[in-house]
Structure 1
């Protein structure tokens, strides 16, 4: 008889996901291969996810939910699975992102994780440690699903002009990343503003920070160093950081002018830097 790995559904969100996937598959009297054929994945992948050896994706979860009639169970669980793959100190921040109604972010060096492309995120995450890079990148990208919710948060991002020139991952990666920022130019819930070089001294010189606003709960401000994050609901800190953000938004270019600057940088710096076997992205 083939040995079947028995998962403890209480061990982790990934184990719980695998347990539920197997339970519903067996209730439908399908083998792993049969389910894989239905959802256009291999039976081997189904087995790896069932035994918590492989991370599920949102697309996989949605297809299996439809095939097994689970009422969206796995699609809901995958968010918890991905959040559990983030560094322990950052999991609370991902939860704040998921609950917030309005998010204000300021980044002086990098595109914020909620706005990164997959290749840009992978390049950032590999800077010091490339272990388990695919899973770590997938976990970061999964955070962006909050922008696809039925009622997503309003996201305001102020990035310094330096972010457009800091070459992360090479010209092609930067081109695709800046084109993604441009895609938000007319987005009803996401606004990107660039703080230009000639601003000089500004209210964000102390570093990056996020501000999370909630319906009925206190505002939380967040900053981080190399190894950990620092969320606080201290009212004085929230008021001080909100004032700084107001000054940053006032000093930054408008959304329209920011898009024009990003477009110019794409054309002048990254427009022709493509691999020979690929067509231009835009």
Structure 2
């Protein structure tokens, strides 16, 4: 039996809880600082509900965090099963380390860039793209929450020099994120030549007890790395790519130089 779409269930509950309070879409929108058209779009599914909308709904309808909880569960369901152990580690991390040789790290992607990346799988239905996109955007709240983890990202320069039109916006966003005191972005210059990081991306999370959890992606899936030997190997690779990356100020200068090549945003 096919499982009901959790986002459809949320939309049904939004309409039901609003109606139980004899509140029109227009009245709800005024209280929540959304237009009636936005409320309608969320309730009909033409716009996906995001976490700020869910939290505001809980406040207006006094539902005790119901919609925040439902949305978080639905977004987790939108992610593949193999990714969920890493999601848990990422949410509870005190420190995050991420290296990407070909793409911008997920936590630093704009909505347009993330959508384009998800659409690279041309057999993925558009509805799934949008669900995965909403989940990815929600993940980024980790870096904006109170008491966020320290994030250090290393990106190969080749990932910044893609010629797609979305890259100007993406580079501008990277530079804004780099202004946050807990976000540190380093770039491996093309002049570094071949390096061990070109074997693939990696991510590491340090939890509250000081233990590290790793994650690696491949073409089909990804896998958590928790065994001591595996984590030690990833930490060694992390140190290798971090050591050949430019210092933070030089990385920012390089990103600005590349951004300028895309013209004004």
TM-score, normalised via structure 2 length: 0.85
User: Which residue in 2 is equivalent to 1:103?
Assistant: 96
Change (3 A) 1:202 1:265: same
- Find out whether 1:270 has 2:262 as its counterpart: yes
User: Which residue in 2 is equivalent to 1:258?
Assistant: 251
- Aligned partner of residue 230 in structure 1, secondary structure: strand
2:153 to 136, 153, 157: 157
Instruction: State whether residues 210 and 221 of structure 1, in contact with CA within 8 Å, keep that contact through their aligned partners in structure 2.
Output: yes
| Distance (Å, rounded) in 2 between the aligned partners of 1:111 and 1:236 | 27
**Cα RMSD (Å) of the superposition?**
2.6
- Find out whether 1:75 has 2:71 as its counterpart: no
Change (3 A) 1:76 1:256: farther
Q: Displacement, 1:30? A: 2.9
Change (3 A) 1:87 1:12: same
- Aligned partner of residue 208 in structure 2, secondary structure: coil
User: Which residue in 2 is equivalent to 1:222?
Assistant: 215
| Distance (Å, rounded) in 1 between the aligned partners of 2:206 and 2:194 | 27
User: Which residue in 2 is equivalent to 1:3?
Assistant: none
Within a 5 Å distance, the mapping from 1:155-234 to structure 2 comes to 155-167=151-163, 170-171=164-165, 173-216=166-209, 218-234=211-227
Within a 5 Å distance, the mapping from 1:28-107 to structure 2 comes to 28-31=21-24, 34-36=27-29, 38-39=31-32, 40-42=35-37, 44-45=40-41, 47-48=43-44, 55-107=48-100
Segment drifting more, 88-97 vs 19-28: 19-28
Segment drifting more, 73-82 vs 139-148: 73-82
- Find out whether 1:134 has 2:130 as its counterpart: yes
- Aligned partner of residue 70 in structure 1, secondary structure: coil
TM-score, normalised via structure 1 length: 0.80
User: Which residue in 2 is equivalent to 1:5?
Assistant: none
4+ long deviations beyond 6 Å? none
Structure 2 gap ranges (5+) = none
Write out per-residue CA displacement over residues 204-255 of structure 1, whole angstroms, 9 at most, x where no aligned residue.
1321111111012632111111111111201011112112212221211011
Higher RCO (CA < 8 A, seq sep 6+): 2
Write out per-residue CA displacement over residues 153-181 of structure 1, whole angstroms, 9 at most, x where no aligned residue.
111100011111123xx23x100101111
Structure 1 gap ranges (5+) = 1-9, 272-279
User: Which residue in 2 is equivalent to 1:113?
Assistant: 106
- Aligned partner of residue 121 in structure 2, secondary structure: coil
Instruction: State whether residues 108 and 177 of structure 2, in contact with CA within 8 Å, keep that contact through their aligned partners in structure 1.
Output: no
- Aligned partner of residue 115 in structure 2, secondary structure: helix
| Distance (Å, rounded) in 1 between the aligned partners of 2:116 and 2:8 | 29
User: Which residue in 2 is equivalent to 1:276?
Assistant: none
- Aligned partner of residue 183 in structure 1, secondary structure: helix
User: Which residue in 1 is equivalent to 2:231?
Assistant: 238
Alignment length (residue pairs): 257
